[in-house]
């Protein structure tokens, strides 16, 4: 690791100017779990690190009935997992956060840093996408708000401008009768990065699905909404046949990657299995063939 200067701005405006002035020679650092690994491996060699730790705008977790959940970008995964507000109002998000990576990462890594890194094989982006979350970006030019779908552009690429930082994540309030399930598939029990993940959020009356949002992650370059599968579920009474059919639609509508961790065909089949389990769990149909781990 090469020597670098460590800068500690006190405002978003100041941090933005530092990032703009230093350009490619600097990186913003929050939890640093991914950044420091890249620097130790000499994949990144910045001359300056701009620490976000002293920016109060990036801290805290709040909720109000009108606007929903506000999560500061510096909230650690462990903070999200254990927050009484998250657990009460968006329990699927707390459940997801409790399984991110490993305890060391959960207690150091931040949700804002995770989104900026845009690792396709991580948990928060897909879950936040299914929840209709937005990302607030700040700079010396002001703020702009993007949906998760707009923010995640491509494989390890986001819509973040060079002088911008993620300030907060907003999750709109869930309508009455809405539940959610986040499921993932790991190749081995010792692995921390999912090979496939499915986030499913639905408003329902018993077995009748009123509204549905499904996002698949880890097996695709960026998480994707499965809108044909969502339309199939909406207005339908969910039974065993519907569970199998929607899982087939999900598997057919993704474009999985193929790499050393798994072929495209294998990933597609695992997404099918995980989607079946996820929908079945939310609607209490755990006795369906193929819906149990």
Locate all alpha helices (DSSP H) within the chain, ordered by sequence: 12-22, 33-40, 77-82, 84-89, 91-97, 103-106, 111-117, 124-130, 148-151, 227-233, 240-253, 264-282
The pair phi, psi for residue 42, each rounded to 5°, is 60, 25
Q: Are residues 26 and 107 in the same domain?
A: no
Q: Please report, rounded to a whole number, the percentage of residues in the chain having pLDDT higher than 70.
A: 98
Domain count for the chain, please give it. 3
Query: 143 with 61, same domain?
Result: yes
Angle among Cα 204, 256, 285 to the nearest 5 degrees reads: 30
Q: The domain that contains 145 carries what CATH number?
A: 3.30.465.10
Judge whether 227 lies within some domain: yes
Same domain assignment for residues 188 and 258: yes
Rounded distance between C-alpha atoms, residue 215 and residue 223, angstroms: 6
Residue 64 neighbours by CB distance under 10 Å: 10
Task: Provide the mean pLDDT of the chain.
Answer: 96
Cβ proximity of 59 and 169 under 8 Å: no
Query: Do 47 and 117 have their domain in common?
Result: no
266 and 187, same structural domain?
yes
**Whether residue 200 sits in one domain with residue 158:** no
| 216 domain residue, yes or no | yes
Model confidence pLDDT, tens digit, residues 251-279? 999 999 999 999 999 999 999 999 999 99
Assigned domain for 290 exists: no
Shared domain check, 64 and 44: no
Tell me, yes or no, whether 92 and 151 share the same domain: yes
SS3 helix, strand, coil % of the chain, rounded to 5?
A: 35, 25, 35
Instruction: Specify if 242 maps to a domain.
Output: yes
Of 107, 140, 171, which residue constitutes the final position of a domain?
171
Same domain for 144 and 121: yes
Residue 288 lies in a domain: no
Do the domain assignments include residue 85? Answer: yes
pLDDT < 70: residue spans in the chain: 289-293
Is 176 inside a domain boundary? no
CATH label of the domain that carries residue 39:
3.30.43.10
Domain boundary among 137, 152, 171: 171
Q: List the CATH number of the domain containing 211.
A: 3.30.390.50
Q: What is the pLDDT of residue 183?
A: 98
Residues 6+ apart with CB under 8 A from 116: 28, 30, 158, 160, 166
Domain housing 11: 5-51
Pair 144, 200 in one domain:
no
Q: Which residues, including other chains, have CB under 8 Å from residue 39's CB and lie 6 or more apart?
A: 1, 45, 46
Query: pTM of the prediction?
Result: 0.96
pLDDT, residue 290, reads 60
CA distance 54 to 60: 13
Q: What is the pLDDT of residue 157?
A: 97
CB 211 within 8 A of CB 202: yes
Q: How far apart are CA 137 and CA 150, in angstroms?
A: 12
Spatial distance between the Cα atoms of 109 and 97, rounded to a whole number of angstroms: 11
Residue 289 lies inside a defined structural domain of this protein = no
Q: What is the pLDDT of residue 150?
A: 98
Question: What's the CA gap between 197 and 52, in Å, rounded?
Answer: 30
85-88 contacts: CB < 8 A, separation 24 or more? 85/61, 86/61, 88/63
Q: Let me know whether 60 and 166 are in one domain.
A: yes
Q: Are residues 158 and 187 both part of a single domain?
A: no
Contact yes or no for 168/71 (Cβ under 8 A)? yes
Q: Which of 171, 198, 230 is the last residue of a domain?
A: 171
Q: What integer pLDDT is reported at residue 286 of this predicted model?
A: 81
Specify whether the CB–CB gap between 2 and 24 falls below 8 A.
Answer: no
């Amino acid at each position: 690791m090469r020597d670098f200067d460590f800068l500690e701005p006190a405002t978003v405006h100041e941090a933005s100017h530092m990032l703009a002035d230093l350009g490619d020679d600097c990186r913003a650092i929050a939890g640093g779990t991914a950044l420091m690994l890249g620097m130790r491996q000499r994949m990144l060699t910045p001359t300056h690190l701009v620490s976000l730790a002293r920016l109060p705008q990036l801290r805290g977790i709040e909720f109000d009935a009108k606007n929903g959940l506000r999560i500061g970008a510096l909230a650690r995964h462990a903070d999200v997992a254990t927050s009484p507000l998250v657990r009460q109002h968006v329990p699927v998000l707390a459940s997801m956060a409790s399984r991110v990576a490993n305890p060391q990462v959960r207690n150091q890594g931040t949700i804002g840093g995770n989104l900026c890194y845009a690792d396709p094989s991580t948990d928060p982006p897909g879950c936040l996408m299914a929840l209709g979350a937005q990302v607030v970006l700040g700079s010396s030019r002001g703020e702009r708000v993007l949906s998760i779908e707009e923010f995640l552009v491509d494989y390890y690429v986001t819509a973040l401008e060079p002088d911008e930082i993620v300030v907060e994540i907003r999750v709109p309030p869930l309508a009455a009768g809405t539940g959610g399930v986040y499921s993932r598939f790991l190749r081995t029990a010792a692995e921390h990065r999912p090979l496939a993940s499915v986030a499913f959020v639905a408003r329902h009356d018993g077995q009748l699905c009123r509204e549905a949002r499904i996002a698949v992650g880890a097996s695709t370059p960026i998480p994707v909404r499965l809108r044909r599968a969502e339309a199939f579920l909406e207005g339908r009474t969910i039974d065993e046949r519907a569970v199998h059919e929607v899982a087939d639609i999900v598997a057919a509508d993704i474009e999985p990657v193929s790499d050393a961790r798994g072929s495209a065909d294998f990933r597609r089949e695992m997404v099918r299995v995980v989607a079946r389990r996820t929908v079945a769990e939310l609607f209490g149909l755990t006795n369906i063939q193929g819906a149990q781990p």
